[in-house]
Structure 1
Amino acid sequence: MEDAIEAFADHVIETKLEDIPSDAIKAAKTYILDTIGVGLAGSIGPYVEELVSTFENASTGIANNARVLGQNIRLAPGNAALLNGFQIHNSEFDCVHEEAVVHTMTVLIASLLADADRRGGVTGETLIRASILGVDVACNLGVASTSALQFFRPATAGAFAAVAAVACARGFDKECLLRAFSLAYIQLSGTMQAHTEGSSLLALQIGLNAKNALLACDLAENGLPGLNGVLEGRFGYFGLFEAAGDIRSVLPTLKQNWRIKEVAHKPFPSGRATHGIVDAIREIQAEHEIDVDAVVRLEARVPSLINHLVGRPVHDNMEISYARLNGQYAAAVMLQRKFIGIHDYTDEAIRNKASIGLAEKVKIIVNDNPDPNALSPVEIDIHMKNGEKFSRRIETVYGNPQKPLSREEHLAKFRRNWEVAKVGLIMENAEKMIGAVDNLEKVTDICELIDLVTG
């Protein structure tokens, strides 16, 4: 084997649905539904209208045969994939593999739905298999990395996931898939600078990789060549996009560790790195009544990655994307409302003086965890005016498979997201969608699902 990408291609091509255990299939259904719901919520997010306008104005003469989650439009498939990806990630509500630091389903579902809508005939069984195998590819790239993020891994690794998923749907052979991986690799994009600045361009990086993954599959299908060192070459993925890692170390886990089973829900529409702090507050609130007016300060001791991702300072002129990636603001909202929802990230909400004032009392402190990719443990102390102190240490964050959302909580999240979709969806169809995904093996064409979530 010249390059480890061949092992991933073999895994995708050779693994059949019957090879996959039932608990992995169950997890896939959970996160397919979750990702679709998150994309609906994202349809009302910042800069969505500007993207729609851009693509509609540039679509003259293009075959607009793919729909977009929560929208009443048809776009060219690549543009539909881009907008799907942007919407799925722009509310910071999409599921994540914590060890890999990858939003596992985001690029994958964005590309696959657009391609399936263009082509038709993609079955529910294919969607399950494609999702599980795509997640395996992206997560193993992340797990194999031993360095801090320098490129935006959810976008870069996500592109490989999307290629694997589309290849499943189109029935690529190994040679074609290897070429598609190569053609996606040469288009990879996504800098951590967008995350550092809390910019909406972070979600656009997801969308661009979703679009490029489709283009890579089209080019491969039409015979363009590939590369030999996609992952391990001198300028391959692990020589350029990741500063350090050992991709060969994860190859024995293929068909053993189904990464979809390790994926974490995001209970709140804020960066996953805020969730350890929020979860600690949630657990304290379950035992004590916290008077927010009596809070002197909240100290959160966190791994360096959390500080890097959400330790930016709160202020009263934040953009929504900045606020979603702000640990101080998330902590303040949780203290005030005992919940964080979509409507806590509007221009009005993020400028609320009481919320900003409380957020300024939150201090994020880096602990001594040496792991550059760690999201736990998190410890918080809430100091009160009367001298009381409420403390909590979080080893496993709410939403992780070891501390999961219940089915009722999962479906409640989906229904809340359904209600806010831009196009205005019938609530009765939300229950149809839940039933269809529960019985996805019986769906003969996933365009039936797309029918339910578009105008």
Structure 2
Amino acid sequence: MDAIRHFSNHVLDVRLKDLPDIVVTSAKTFVLDSIGVGIAGSTGQWAPELAACAPAWGTGEDARVFGRAGRYPDALAALMNAYQIHNCEFDCLHEKAVVHAMTAVLPAALATAERLGGVAGPQLLEAVIAGVDIACAIGLGGTRPMKFFRPGVAGGFGATAAAGKLLGFDAATLQNAFGTTFAQSCGSMQAHEEGTMLLALQVGFNTRNALHACALAAKGLRAPQEVLEGRFGYYALFEDGSDLGPVVESFGKVWRIAELAQKPFPSGRATHGALEAIAGLMARHAFGADDVETVLIRLTPVARTLVGRLPRDDMAANYARLCMAYCAARMLGGGRLDMEDFTAQALADGKSRHLASRVKIEALDTASTDAFAPAEVEIALKDGRTLSQTVAHILGHPLKPLPREAHLEKFRRNCRLSATPLSPVAAEQMIAAVDELERVPDVGILMDLAAASS
């Protein structure tokens, strides 16, 4: 029996009344965080170009897009929202799975809820929690470093789970939806290798495809059933090794949404441990960029592979967000890393480029099973001092969560970056609505607040 049957049954079994409070609280935290990041992404790199393409891809009134006016077909709105959540590298993720689960799951759930109308908060929470479990389970089932872009491919499965749950699918229909999602799966790491915005678009493509898969399954399309473990199933084609036993065994016992990490910086998560170490050293020892001779950063092998790229004179924002040397230089220059550090002006700053050229990245020899920690930083200062710090658990990790005020300030700052201005009142109303999400009668209110009026 293919494990996809266990996945489908788990989705159907998720009920809000059975969930621990920490799971519901985590879900609300990451719903708000993801909406805020998606709003900021409306002005992110390549968002205007994507919005300009949208009218040619279909018209409809199903759903809306963060920070934008107008209505779109549900699958197109889901694509755009998923892209906007991921295009600034500010979205939460499951570190061990290496999956940005909410990035696909939430847009699929919101678009489906808008099309259906009258979806209550508890239904949305159940769908999101189930979808995150599935996306993370797909990633956790792989035992080797990813060769396809797992956030996109695994996200598509999670998006299917969330939409299928809201649509009231039975297990057989959901399995057909999973099979049809698998047939459309895409996500090449070549986009990461070359630093193109197609990386984030791949999350959007899989999210859109999940809604198309659900529509086909609802009409009775029979899809392949051996989706995960078949001869040509997911793990045979997309991963170099797998072990699904522990993943299946964890269903109903471990809730992956409570394991997500929240990002304090708009850059690849693999940069965050070193950035936190640099910020800590600067705060304790009162030095600045002009005092720095060289910087040595040691990252886990996975992290070094993801962000060890060399700085370039022609860096685009998406390349720079995944360039440890550049991110370190900007942190040293201002004591923080924010959206402004990836503007054209910041990227052209000669001082930052020069400092980035003196940052060396090495791989740690570590037995840690965490993809992104520990991270070690050693800074040699011009006065002869050498400062060092190791970060074992990165800020935003479940063991070191972002404080609520920092979480809310991140959301408010992101709202101020909307393509179409959103009022501060709307931001506060969104915070209140998400805080009370299990009592909200119609989650359409979230898009009323997050999308600009037509």
TM-score by length of 1: 0.97
CA displacement 1:387-438 (0-9 Å, x = unmatched): 1011011111111011110000000000000111111001011110000000
1:43 is aligned to 42
Q: Does 1:435 align with 2:423?
A: no
1:24 is aligned to 23
Bigger drift between 131-140 and 432-441 goes to: 131-140
Within-5 A mapping of 1:19-418:
19-59=18-58, 62-369=59-366, 374-418=371-415
Bigger drift between 428-437 and 132-141 goes to: 132-141
2:11 is aligned to 12
Shift of the 411–258 alpha-carbon distance from structure 1 to 2, 3 Å rule, reads: same
Does the CA contact (< 8 Å) of 2:60 and 2:71 recur in 1? no
SS in 2 for 1:178: helix
Cα offset, 1:338, TM superposition: 1.3
Output the CA distance in 2 between the equivalents of 1:58 and 1:405. Answer: 39
Output the CA distance in 1 between the equivalents of 2:244 and 2:389. Answer: 36
Does the CA contact (< 8 Å) of 2:282 and 2:288 recur in 1? no
Q: Which amino acid aligns with 1:81?
A: A
Cα offset, 1:370, TM superposition: 5.9
Cα offset, 1:371, TM superposition: 6.5
1:419 is aligned to 416
Q: Which amino acid aligns with 1:391?
A: S
Q: Which amino acid aligns with 1:52?
A: A
Cα offset, 1:249, TM superposition: 2.2
Count, aligned residues: 452
Shift of the 58–105 alpha-carbon distance from structure 1 to 2, 3 Å rule, reads: closer
Unaligned residue ranges in structure 1 (runs of 5+): none
Q: Which amino acid aligns with 1:12?
A: V
Does the CA contact (< 8 Å) of 1:381 and 1:389 recur in 2? yes
SS in 1 for 2:146: coil
Cα offset, 1:15, TM superposition: 2.2
% of aligned pairs identical?
45
TM-score by length of 2: 0.97
CA displacement 1:115-168 (0-9 Å, x = unmatched): 222221111111111111111111122122111110111111111111111111
Output the CA distance in 2 between the equivalents of 1:371 and 1:3. Answer: 31
Unaligned residue ranges in structure 2 (runs of 5+): none
* Runs of 4+ off more than 4 Å: 370-373
Bigger drift between 72-81 and 181-190 goes to: 72-81
Q: Which amino acid aligns with 1:304?
A: P
Output the CA distance in 1 between the equivalents of 2:79 and 2:14. Answer: 28
Cα offset, 1:92, TM superposition: 0.2
Output the CA distance in 2 between the equivalents of 1:221 and 1:67. Answer: 23
